[in-house]
Structure 1
Amino acid sequence: MTPYVGFRPYRSAEHGWFFGREQEAQDVATSWQGTGLTVVFGPAKVGKTSLLHAGVLPRIEAESADVLPVAEARREAAAGNPYVASLLAAWAPGRPADMTISEFLDRRVDRFDEYGDPLSVLIAIDQAEELFGGPPKWRREREECLKQLASAVVRHHGLHLLLCVREEFLAAVLPHERLLGQGSRGRLHLRPFGREAALAAVTRPVEASGRVFGPGAAEAVVDASGVLRGSDESGPEFEPGQLQIVCSALWESLPADVREITLEHVPGLVEVDRFLAGFCRQVIGEVAEEQGVSGGTILIWLHEVFVTDHSAGISVSEGYPTTAGIPNAIARALAERHLLRTEQRLGVRWYELQHQRLGLAIRKAENPVTLLGDAEAELAQGNWDLARGLALVAMQAAGREATWVHAQGKAIMGEAAAALGQAEAAHGLLAEAANSFAAMQRFDAVARVLAADGRVWIAQGQPRKAVSVLKSALDWDANSVSVHLALGQALWRAGRVRDALAVLDGVVDLAAQPPPEAVALRAEILDGLGGMKSIA
């Protein structure tokens, strides 16, 4: 079992793997139990949720405090105040959503210590920024929720609040601190790891596994995660989430019999992008099966929405009933598996990639050749948009060097465009594909693509142009059945019936098993003429 958690936050049960935040965890635990209000603030992705669950909560002894389940500030679709309802849903699922916070606390059974004194009640609200910066139309409900929290602190002696917020919301919290803390309050600014903390987060989790880091290896892992920012005064800082990704990739890459992780392992085995690509494949497959859609549909959506040359920072809002064109249930399932992360902004759920490196990983999530095979299968089934999307994803995954993948991808996209009635786009794509195949001396592929282009001209009502294209295709592959079939149809549409029959006769005569399409087309032509020519 890996001692690293990758993208998701640490859980309370994983506190034995959580290192690098010992001092911060102890400071927050002490402040929470000793003051009316404690505010933990820091940038997004710095690890506030992990600190709370795996660092702070395990330091609170059950005999010394009555700790309620951690709540998140969001609007719950329920009767009464939606923000209050979300807190009550976390603390006591099934309780009436229209009761106040004080009413809920009044109905709880008090707990006492061994001396008969009542235990302090500890309430933690994660992602609490929603209470201080939601949409204007919910301002009254937010203010009412904050008043209820302040009233509860006054009414229930021994109630202590802990709020975790992004640092940009600290200014909005400050005016409420006196009421929520009743004059007793503390703050902790959670920053990214320094080098010493980063090394502890790398080395300490493996201690129970029987493995150790050799000289310089852990330092190399930390450096591989990349410096987030630094200065001469504070020194370099490292993003905890990025460090977890690198460590998870290293752990997965190590052979089972490795006991000492050395410098030799780090550059050769920390294949982070391969690890992330495997993670993406697993999540996409699980969500596709769960939601009853094809994995290609999800992959295409991720590409179209999040994967660009600069994937960092791209976010989309959840609508109704879809998010950027895909059902909300799929977007939420991707977030539950930590491929996407969610954030409440002004009461609206927004999605973005869990980490900026996932953009490249999504491109590499599937083998380009496999993707092209999927695209061809969708094309054969008439799923034109899906076929075109998969072909495009295959081309992006292959990079600029894979000429064959690009040529085949453009051929598929061209046929899909033709089926969708986009003739000009189809001609352009098929011409590019033919030129690429010609440069590779893939003569059969050139003929196949030109046959598709000829069929487009036929569909446009220009059989003479089709005849010209299809005759040139025979120069590349004189025995191509698909070219002969298309040519026979083009000649017929051009009024050259005898020539059409001659071409089709040749196809039938040359084949051990006459192609059904050729037999059917020749029969159609003869039926139109009223002729009696044998088709056997």
Structure 2
Amino acid sequence: MRAFRADDAFRFFGRDRAAHDLAAHWQANRLTILHGPSGVGKTSLVQAGVLPLLDTETTDTLPVGRLSYGSAFPVVDGATYPTAALPPQHNPHVFALLSAWAPQESPARLAGLTLESYLRSRPARQDPYGDPMLVLLAIDQAEELFDDFAQRQVYREWFLDQLKRALDADKNIRLLMCVRDDHLASLMPYGKKLVANDHRRVRLDPLDQEEAREAVTGPVRGTGRLYERSAVDRLLRDLSAESAPGDLRAEPVRLQAACSMLWRSLPPGVRTITEAHVGDVAATDKQVTAFCELMVREVAAEHLEGDTARLMSWLARTFVTQLVTRRRVRVRENVTAGLANVIIEALVRRDILVRDAEWCELSHDRLIQPVLQAAGPVDLSASGTDPDGLLGSAELALRDRDLEQAKAQAREALTRVRGDRRLEAEIHTFLGNIAHQEQEYAAAIEHYLRAAELFESLSAFDAVGRLLVGMGWLRLAQGRPDLAVDELNIAQGRYQHDLSIKTAFAWALWHDGAPDLARDTVTGVLEEDGDALDALQARGEILASMGRSAAALADLERASPLQWPSTKAAHALASARLADVQEVTPAIQKEIREALDDAPDSGPVWLYSAWINVAQAARETGDETARETALATAGEHARRALKARSPSLPRHLKEKARKLSGEK
């Protein structure tokens, strides 16, 4: 039931023509959109059909990516990542895609990159003739960009803006996006925005009769068995439906389930598969349900003393959302959502579940209804009672945006931990992340600190380092840069390879009143990694606050698109202060207004706005009233800057704000 992978190419049949056509379109067009109904085999076509056809000497193909990393919080080395340690301006869709492209890279670094900067950082490759290779990118399940449970619209637009910039920056990039038919209308308007008219739409239909016959008979070759023609005819007759008058089509997912059931039901010693063997398998329209029930029954017999009802109920509660869609679940060390991992592996072997290193989910959308029907009445928000199961339920609740339920489940899990220090550290990190989301900074620090102590006792030093960085950012959010400097300095000394810690340390120095040292620190980061987005934005804002407008714009333009309010405000300030700017343009005014709207209690943003008004007043040489109005606005914004607390003004900027405000 799972999708075919690249290493399944030798058993993938029936899509030869479609695979060659899609491979050609992908390489010929800047953007190719592959669409079709759920279960038609889009993922299988790309992975097992198209990828093996690509010439590695002429194409540079990145791993197929998705736009969701499957959890409310990312996971690294088996541990929940402290979200406060990620650069505040990271985009979750970009982060998920980069995580697929570079799974071994530091999440903090990936979160600080744009799509363009990551692709630019890869070594350029040439074909045997010395010409640049085509760079092939593929995004599977692009409907995650438009899902109601995906991130807010601002993240979607920001992601697509980054995607356009990456395509514009390298004309050798060819992008393939796979999407379900029900989301095609949402994606299509973006095609022209991304690549003008250089895009192609490809529809994948169910298998026609020739393709279906090949899909049935191909995998049997070389096994010592063969089909009678009448047996194949019977299968196709029972499994096909008319998509148009005279056009019989077979859904791959039904064919896959029926053929799997048939193979498993053959008596020992059978060499020729006849119509009689096919009869019982293909006589009904419930092949998927029958397959699911048989596989779950086998697992229950092996591991749960035959309690199939319990296993079906667990599958429904764990892997189906309240919106009746598939849910990805984190695989833990020994027990996942209340059941031993040996059961997970048994379900994976039987293609009921599919998993990678960190996550598992139902192998196909078509399994949702069979599981729900077999489970009977079930509360899809119900939880387990052991601490690991409770934490799993908390994660599921958070993915469904039920914050109170998530906190309640995690706190209950904490009361039931008995000597499992790793799990206890995981729970504290999870609760710290929720507190960070709710801007409860003291509570977040308390949970992170306890998690760090537990991880240190386990010698999980990388996890400790990430938590220290998170605590440093939280201290800055609290308005305690002195404590942030101390904690990040310790982290920097212990984890010198992590550039994200150095960038966070630079911010702490700046907020603590040491702008020159902060600038030098972040410059050191950029000397090691010139594409570090968080470092470019940090240095750009620091330079803008120091009055070095041209240098600030050079960094901020490279780091665009800017989404962090203070960096947008810094960009507006640097633009307004340039000597050759004759007026504060509408674009500058729009940028600073957006920053103020997004961060109404930010001291730096209000001060930058005050300075922009000063720059405007300096240009009002012929209109004294306008000049006085701009200066009055500057004074008012400086006073707002002094009162702001999220974040408050850095120490060295407070005196400048007081002077501008007229306060003593």
Give the TM-score taking structure 2 as reference length. 0.45
Does the C-alpha gap of structure 1 residues 270 and 174 become closer, same or farther in structure 2, counting only changes over 3 Å? closer
SS at match of 2:32: strand
> What residue identity is the alignment partner of 1:151?
R
Tell me if the contact between 2:31 and 2:175 (Cα under 8 Å) persists in the aligned partners: yes
- 1:85 and 2:95 matched: yes
Q: Give 2:47's match in structure 1, choosing from 53, 67, 87.
A: 53
The aligned residue for residue 453 of structure 1 is: none
User: Structure 1: which amino acid aligns with 2:188?
Assistant: L
CA distance in 2, matches of 1:152, 1:33: 17
Amino acid at match of 1:300: R
Letter in 2 for 1:207: R
C-alpha displacement at 1:358, in angstroms?
A: 5.5
Kept in 2, the 8 Å contact 1:211–1:258? The answer is yes
Q: 1:10-25 to 2 correspondence within 5 Å? A: 10-25=4-19
Query: C-alpha displacement at 1:283, in angstroms?
Result: 4.6
Choose which of 8, 28, 31 in structure 2 pairs with 1:37: 31
CA contact (8 A) 1:127 1:166 kept: yes
Secondary structure at the residue paired with 1:103? helix
* Displacement after TM superposition at 1:211 (Å): 2.1
1:238 aligns with 2:254: no
TM superposition shift of 1:220: 1.2
Unaligned 5+ runs, structure 1? 1-6, 289-293, 343-348, 364-536
Q: CA–CA distance in 2 between the matches of 1:327 and 1:149?
A: 36
Does the Cα contact within 8 Å between 1:67 and 1:122 map onto a contact in 2?
A: yes
SS in structure 2 opposite 1:186? strand
CA–CA distance in structure 2, aligned partners of residues 58 and 133 of structure 1: 30
Instruction: Report the 3-state secondary structure (helix = DSSP H, G, I; strand = E; otherwise coil) of the residue aligned with 1:97.
Output: helix
| 2:68 maps to which of 67, 71, 74 | 74
Whole-angstrom CA distance in 1 between matches of 2:369 and 2:325: 15
Identify unmatched segments of 5+ residues in structure 2.
75-85, 356-361, 377-664
Give 2:110's aligned amino acid: A
Decide whether aligned partners of structure 1 residues 231 and 330 sit closer, same or farther in structure 2, where only a CA change above 3 A counts: farther
8 Å contact kept, 1:153–1:182:
no
Distance of aligned partners of 1:172 and 1:257 in 2 relative to their CA distance in 1, 3 Å threshold: same
The answer as to 2:168 corresponding to 1:154 is yes
Cα distance, 1:254 vs structure 2: 2.0
CA–CA distance in 1 between the matches of 2:293 and 2:188? 43
Q: Relative to 1, partners in 2 of residues 1:362 and 1:239: Cα closer, same or farther, differing over 3 Å?
A: farther
In the superposition, relative to structure 1, how do residues 214 and 318 fare at CA in structure 2: closer, same or farther (>3 Å)? closer
- Report the CA distance between 1:180 and its aligned residue: 2.5
8 Å contact kept, 2:3–2:363: no
Q: Does 1:8 align with 2:20?
A: no
Contact between 2:13 and 2:214, CA under 8 Å: does it hold in 1? yes
Distance 2:26 2:300 in 1: 40
Alpha carbons of structure 1 residues 362 and 21: separation in structure 2 relative to 1, 3 Å: farther
**Alignment correspondent of 1:120:** 134
Counterpart CA distance in 2 for 1:174 and 1:19 is: 30
Distance 1:193 1:181 in 2: 31
Which residue of structure 2 aligns with residue 366 of structure 1?
Answer: none
8 Å CA contact retained: 1:274, 1:361: no
User: Per the alignment, do residues 159 and 284 of structure 1 end up closer, same or farther by CA in structure 2, a change over 3 Å counting?
Assistant: farther
Residue 190 of structure 1 deviates from its aligned partner by 0.9
2:365 and 2:41 map into 1 onto residues whose CA distance is 17
Summarize deviations over 1:61-106 as a string: whole Å, max 9, x none.
1112000001012156353111101001100013322211111111
Aligned pair 1:192/2:202, yes or no?
no
**Superposed displacement of residue 216, structure 1:** 0.8
Question: Residue 116 of structure 1: SS of its match in structure 2?
Answer: coil
**C-alpha distance in structure 1 between counterparts of 2:157 and 2:166, whole Å:** 14
CA positional deviation for 1:270: 6.6
Matched residue type, 1:29: A
Deviation at 1:277, TM superposition (A): 3.5
* SS state at 1:165 partner: strand
1:227 equivalent in alignment to 2:237: no
Secondary structure of the residue aligned to 2:200 is: strand
* Aligned position for 1:63: 57
Is the 1:214–1:262 contact (alpha carbons within 8 Å) kept by the matching residues of 2? yes
Q: Say whether the 8 Å CA contact 2:325–2:365 is kept in structure 1.
A: yes
> What CA deviation, in whole Å up to 9, does each residue of 1:149-201 have, x standing for no partner?
11101101200100000011111112111233343111111111222221111
> Per-residue deviation at 1:125?
0.5
Does the CA contact (< 8 Å) of 1:40 and 1:165 recur in 2? yes
Residue in 1 aligned with 2:587? none
- Following TM superposition, by how much is the alpha carbon of 1:58 offset from its aligned partner in structure 2, in angstroms? 1.0
**Does the CA contact (< 8 Å) of 1:28 and 1:188 recur in 2?**
yes
- Give the number of the structure whose alpha-carbon radius of gyration is greater: 1
Q: Per-residue deviation at 1:317?
A: 7.8
Against the structure 1 CA distance between its residues 262 and 314, is the aligned structure 2 distance closer, same or farther, given a 3 Å change threshold?
Answer: farther
Q: Check conservation: 2:300, 2:307, Cα contact below 8 A.
A: no
| SS, match of residue 208 in structure 1 | coil
Residue pair 1:316, 1:351 contacting (<8 A) in 2 also: no
Distance 1:209 1:145, change over 3 A: same
Give distance in 2, aligned partners of 1:24 and 1:174: 21
Q: Is the 8 A contact 2:324 2:368 kept in 1?
A: no
Matched, 1:267 2:261: no
**Any idea what SS the aligned residue of 2:98 has?**
helix
Deviation by residue 1:249-305 (Cα, 9 ceiling, x = unmatched)? 11122234322212232225779676543411345578x6xxxxx577883363498
Q: Residue 209 of structure 1: SS of its match in structure 2?
A: coil
Superposed CA offset, 1:189-225 (max 9, x none): 111122222111101221222322113111112234x
Paired residue for 1:203? 217
1:334-349 to 2 correspondences below 5 Å: 338-339=351-352
Partner of 1:280: 296
Secondary structure in 1 aligned to 2:248? coil
Q: Which residue identity lines up with residue 212 of structure 2 in the other structure?
A: A
- Secondary structure at the aligned position of 1:230 is classed as strand
Paired with 2:148 and 2:91, the residues of 1 have a C-alpha distance of 14
Rate the CA distance shift 1:339–1:215 in 2: closer, same or farther, 3 A: closer
Instruction: Please tell me whether the aligned partners of residues 70 and 126 of structure 1 are also in contact (alpha carbons under 8 angstroms).
Output: yes
Alignment partner of 2:143 out of 123, 129, 145? 129
Q: 1:103 to 1:51 in 2, by over 3 A?
A: same
Whole-angstrom distance in 1 between the partners of 2:22 and 2:314: 42
1:315 aligns to 2:324 (yes or no): yes
Match for 1:186: what amino acid?
Answer: R
Residues 124 and 318 of structure 1: is their aligned pair in 2 closer, same or farther, counting only changes over 3 Å?
A: closer
Q: What's the secondary structure of 2:177's corresponding residue?
A: strand
Q: Distance in 2 between matches of 1:197 and 1:350?
A: 23
SS, match of residue 244 in structure 2: coil
For residues 159 and 38 of structure 1, what CA distance do their matches in structure 2 show?
A: 12
SS, match of residue 175 in structure 2: strand
Report if aligned partners of 2:240, 2:249 keep a CA contact under 8 Å in 1.
yes
Q: Residues 104 and 22 from structure 1, CA distance in 2 versus in 1: closer, same or farther, beyond 3 angstroms?
A: same
Query: Is the Cα–Cα contact under 8 Å of residues 254 and 269 in structure 1 kept in the other structure?
Result: no
Q: Secondary structure at the match of 2:142?
A: coil
Residues 303-356 of structure 1: CA deviation (Å, up to 9, x unaligned): 49859xxx9x982686999xxxx97576995986753699xxxxxx99966264
Tell me the equivalent position of 2:193.
179
TM superposition shift of 1:17:
1.6
Distance 1:351 1:35 in 2: 30
For residues 170 and 331 of structure 1, the distance between their equivalents in structure 2, rounded to whole angstroms, comes to: 39
Equivalents in 2 of 1:297, 1:314: separation in Å? Answer: 27
* Overall identity of the aligned pairs, in %: 34
